[in-house]
């Protein structure tokens, strides 16, 4: 859902902030920015899966958590370690997957 937060149109699901240069009528009803981000999932230094960033967050019940915010804030090629129900994994942003 996209809401105006502190004067900025922000997706409350994925954290994407729309440009302040856009007019009110140019802001979409629903956000798809988080779905465009890809991740690589590594366990013990080994690539075990790839997929959508938003899907990973939802599948691991991380919506609205600090870990989700950390994942969503990753720049292309950057990584972070997160705890899942199956243990610790390294998440690397890769929009080319």
Same domain, 16 and 30: yes
Same domain, 31 and 42: no
Same domain, 29 and 42: no
80: three-class secondary structure by DSSP: strand
Same domain, 17 and 43: no
Q: Is residue 97 over pLDDT 90?
A: no
Tell me how many domains the chain contains: 2
Q: Dihedral sign, CA of 96, 71, 73, 28?
A: positive
Which of the four pLDDT bands, split at 50, 70 and 90, describes residue 4? confident
pLDDT tens per residue, range 17-76: 887 777 777 788 777 665 567 899 999 999 999 988 888 988 999 988 888 888 988 988
Task: Say whether pTM exceeds 0.85.
Answer: no
- pLDDT of res. 34: 57
Same domain, 6 and 22: yes
Please, are residues 57 and 11 in contact by the beta-carbon 8 Å criterion? no
**Domain housing 25:** 1-36
Same domain, 63 and 46: yes
CA 92 vs CA 12, 27, 42: distances in Å: 22, 29, 8
């Amino acid at each position: 859902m996209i809401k105006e937060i502190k004067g900025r149109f922000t997706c409350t699901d994925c954290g994407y902030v729309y440009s302040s240069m856009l007019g009110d009528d140019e802001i979409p009803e629903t956000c798809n920015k988080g779905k465009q981000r890809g991740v690589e999932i590594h366990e013990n230094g080994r690539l075990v899966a790839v997929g959508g960033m938003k899907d990973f967050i939802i599948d691991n019940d991380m919506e609205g958590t600090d870990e989700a915010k950390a994942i969503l804030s990753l720049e292309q090629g950057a990584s972070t370690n997160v705890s899942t129900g199956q243990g610790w994994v390294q998440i690397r942003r890769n929009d080319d997957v």
